Amino acid sequence: MPHQKPLTENLFLSPRWIGHRNRLSAFSQAPLMVIFAGNYGIRGMEAFKDRAIEKGICFGAEDNVASTAGDEDFDTVVDNLLKWPNATVVVCFCEGMTVRNLVRATRRKNVEGAFLFIGSDGWGDRVDVVHELESAVTGAISLMLYSPRIPQFAKHYASLKPHGSPNNPWFEEFWEEKFQCSLGKKNPRRLPPCSRKKTHV
């Protein structure tokens, strides 16, 4: 079997991302800044940086912030970005709420609109990420993979139950996390018992 490149590497070699890298090369005279959220975006960030450097794009600030971090942490990230006055493009390999908290920090620091944000698919078409922050993300770019709805999968997914998925050893854990309840086997977090009303996802 031929060696296959990781999904993140294939993604950043795709024509769509090559086109965006070509557009970003216009900013090569000023460094880009990169933010990622824990393990979520590190592989994508590494692949992106490797390919962007090949195009002559340089990098300035690089920061890591969790989506659950407090306002002070996001304020610190913005302060670090502001240390690069010639850099205004921020590539964020982040979950949606990380992007939202970052944009909120620019508003608190009175630098709303100072940065052009480019987001990964963790932001995508989620309106909740920019709700009441629309003016702060004017001009931002967010990319997402084409993922059409598959009716057969939606029907299958809606029919799943925690005790009826023998081929998926992680489903019970997923169920407990989604509904924040315990199915009774192990309950170190002392979650309340799952209600019988929750019969499907």
Question: For the chain, what is the mean pLDDT?
Answer: 76
Same domain, 166 and 98: no
**Which one-letter amino acid corresponds to residue 52?**
A
Q: What is the pTM of this model?
A: 0.61
Q: Are 134 and 152 in contact (CB under 8 A)?
A: no
Residues 102 and 185 in one domain: no
Q: What is the dihedral of CA 170, 175, 176, 181, to 10 degrees?
A: -160
When pLDDT is cut at 50, 70 and 90, the band that residue 182 belongs to is: confident
Pair (30, 129) in one structural domain = yes
Q: Which tens digit of pLDDT belongs to each residue from 51-77?
A: 888 878 878 878 888 878 899 999 999
Beta bridge partners of 119: 92, 142
Domain stops at, among 126, 142, 158: 142
pLDDT tens, 9-66? Answer: 334 434 444 444 554 555 545 667 777 776 666 777 788 888 888 878 878 878 888 8
- Stretch 177-181: mean pLDDT: 79
Evaluate whether residue 52 is within a structural domain: yes
Mean pLDDT of 173-184: 79
Same domain? For 86 and 156 the reply is no
74 and 18 within one domain: yes
Where residue 77 sits, what CATH number does that domain have? Answer: 3.40.50.2300
Q: What is the domain range of residue 188?
A: 149-201
Specify the length of the chain in residues. 201
H-only helix segments in the chain: 7-12, 15-24, 42-54, 71-82, 96-108, 127-130, 151-159, 171-179
1 in a domain, yes or no?
A: no
CA distance 121 to 94: 8
Answer yes or no: is 118 within a domain: yes
- Look at the block and give the residue holding tokens 């029907």: 155
Q: Token pair 């608190």 is at which residue?
A: 108
pLDDT grade for 103, boundaries at 50, 70 and 90: very high
Amino acid found at 27: F
Pairing of strands 116-119, 89-93: parallel
What is the C-alpha separation between 195 and 199, in angstroms, rounded? 8
Query: How many distinct structural domains can be found in the chain?
Result: 2
CB-CB contact of 183 with 194 (8 Å)? yes
